[in-house]
Structure 1
Amino acid sequence: MQDKILATYVLMDLLFVVCGGLLLIFALVTKSELTQTPTIQNVATDLLLNVCPLTAAIANSVLVFFTFLVSVPAMVAPMTRGWLKFHGYLVVVCAIFTMLIGLTIWFDTLKTRQNLSDIWNVQPNTTQSLLQQRFNCCGYNNATSPPFFVPDSTCPNPLAAAANIGCVTPFVSFANTFLDTIFTGAFGIVGVDVALILTTAMLLKDRKEKERYRHIDEKQGTGSF
């Protein structure tokens, strides 16, 4: 039974560190992409990712890797419980950290329209034009109310712009779908953390029972279990 519990613990621990690796890769790749010149294909996603807590995600992944290293003595020493307890506490911290990141992104989706308005207003005309081309729209709210549309191939003149929709509706719809995917992924990682916490508790209980039986055997003079 102990072998099965330990094997489950090791499996969840490996899955835990894989999630940390994916989190780090996502944050680093995203930071790298944000330094590149925006295009029609990536302008919307880059603007959304730029307001995500990427630095916190990197810090979280570093904590995950440290937590995994702490688990190594717990796996190598079959009866130790000190390292296992310390590892369990660190996993709880990682889970809370990741959950806070997910909740931060989720909370932003509750005020997407206002957030995107603020983002739109600080963008240069070139970026606003890319967004207009990306969503086939003119202006943020519409072509006739501020912030006004930027003349480009999608909105070449006031008459054509007035016949087109504002960017707010397609941009908000895209942002909600995109951010939903990100915070759902964060909550999925929290689910892995919770599963690891449960397997850690099971392994601790199993080792505690083995330790108790060993002491009983020693008192009876039959040697360790």
Structure 2
Amino acid sequence: MNSKKLVGVWAFFDFCLLVSGVIALAFSIVWRAPNLLLNLVFRPGDLTAGTVLGVSLLITFAFSIGAIVQRNHVTMGLVILNWLLVLDAIAVAVVGTFIWEYTLQERANYHAVYLEQSDATVIAIQDKLSCCGYFNGTDHVVLGGNFCQNQTFVDSFLKLDNTTGDWTGACVGPITAFADASLNQAFTTVYGFMAAVLCLLLASLCVIKKRQEEERFKKIDAKRGGRGFV
């Protein structure tokens, strides 16, 4: 592959890195807006990690522009870029794995989160999802609002499923269903960033090798008096 085509491939993967950084940063900011269920699923620490990841990818992209425009014999910028990409890959793996790991015990994890919510938030969740309590009618059920107005309604609304042992009408089902979809989308997207990072890393290695090769041939050509090899 000639140098121009190789740099074109490199530029494509660099653009993918830019898009990855923008996506990570944008969603980390947008999901901080008041949203009953999203605020329940993603904690401030999760969004901060996403923000840091997005900023890191954008910083790497900015550095890559300076690295690629250096003269052929100067490859140190690309070498440093590759080390930055290695750090980005580690960050992507850590953030993605942390989100994925949270999906393994969603019912228990979000039970703890649910217990931390204020009564007003719990009532809002119950009204929105038409449910009462987390696991059952005595598990942090808050009476009031438009749905779970009194204990008599709660007792008549919740039904024990003898097959699964779960109470139908409890909030654990709809909460974890929404959380599962959101978390799966999040960690799949984050892991997708790894493709851009690794492909750019490989492309950078190829560019370094190609430039070193061209410089070596230039030196050989100069020693031959500029007559080339033909």
What TM-score, normalized to structure 1? 0.88
RMSD: 1.9
Tell me if 1:55 matches 2:55. Answer: no
- 3-state SS of 1:222 partner: coil
C-alpha contact 1:139 1:150 (8 A) present in aligned 2 = no
Matched ranges for 1:114-125 at <5 A: 114-125=108-119
Matched ranges for 1:27-46 at <5 A: 27-31=28-32, 33=33, 36=34, 42-46=35-39
Q: Following the alignment from structure 1 to structure 2, what is the Cα–Cα distance between the partners of residues 206 and 136?
A: 62
C-alpha contact 2:143 2:150 (8 A) present in aligned 1 = no
C-alpha contact 1:84 1:204 (8 A) present in aligned 2 = yes
Partner of 2:163: none
Partner of 1:39: none
Choose 179-188 or 7-16, whichever is displaced more.
Answer: 7-16
Tell me if 1:135 matches 2:136. Answer: no
> Deviations along 1:10-55, whole A, 9 cap, x unmatched?
1211221222122112222223x1xx4xxxxx31111112255222
Instruction: Give 2:214's aligned amino acid.
Output: K
- Aligned identity (percent) is 28
Choose 207-216 or 151-160, whichever is displaced more.
Answer: 151-160
Q: Following the alignment from structure 1 to structure 2, what is the Cα–Cα distance between the partners of residues 152 and 194?
A: 51
Aligned partner (choices 88, 94, 98) of residue 88 of structure 2: 94
Matched ranges for 1:164-179 at <5 A: 164=158, 165-179=169-183
C-alpha contact 1:149 1:161 (8 A) present in aligned 2 = no
Q: Following the alignment from structure 1 to structure 2, what is the Cα–Cα distance between the partners of residues 118 and 149?
A: 16
Partner of 1:110: 104
C-alpha contact 2:6 2:207 (8 A) present in aligned 1 = yes
The count of aligned residue pairs is 216
Instruction: Give 1:90's aligned amino acid.
Output: L
C-alpha contact 2:99 2:183 (8 A) present in aligned 1 = yes
C-alpha contact 2:114 2:134 (8 A) present in aligned 1 = yes
Partner of 2:3: 2
Partner of 1:82: 76
C-alpha contact 1:217 1:223 (8 A) present in aligned 2 = yes
Instruction: Give 1:124's aligned amino acid.
Output: S
**C-alpha displacement of 1:197:** 1.0
Aligned partner (choices 186, 189, 207) of residue 211 of structure 2: 207
Aligned partner (choices 113, 137, 140) of residue 147 of structure 1: 140
- 3-state SS of 1:74 partner: helix
**C-alpha displacement of 1:188:** 0.8
Partner of 2:164: none
**C-alpha displacement of 1:62:** 2.4
Inter-CA distance 107–51: structure 2 relative to 1 (3 Å threshold) = farther
C-alpha contact 1:52 1:105 (8 A) present in aligned 2 = no
Inter-CA distance 74–146: structure 2 relative to 1 (3 Å threshold) = closer
What TM-score, normalized to structure 2? 0.86
**C-alpha displacement of 1:187:** 0.6
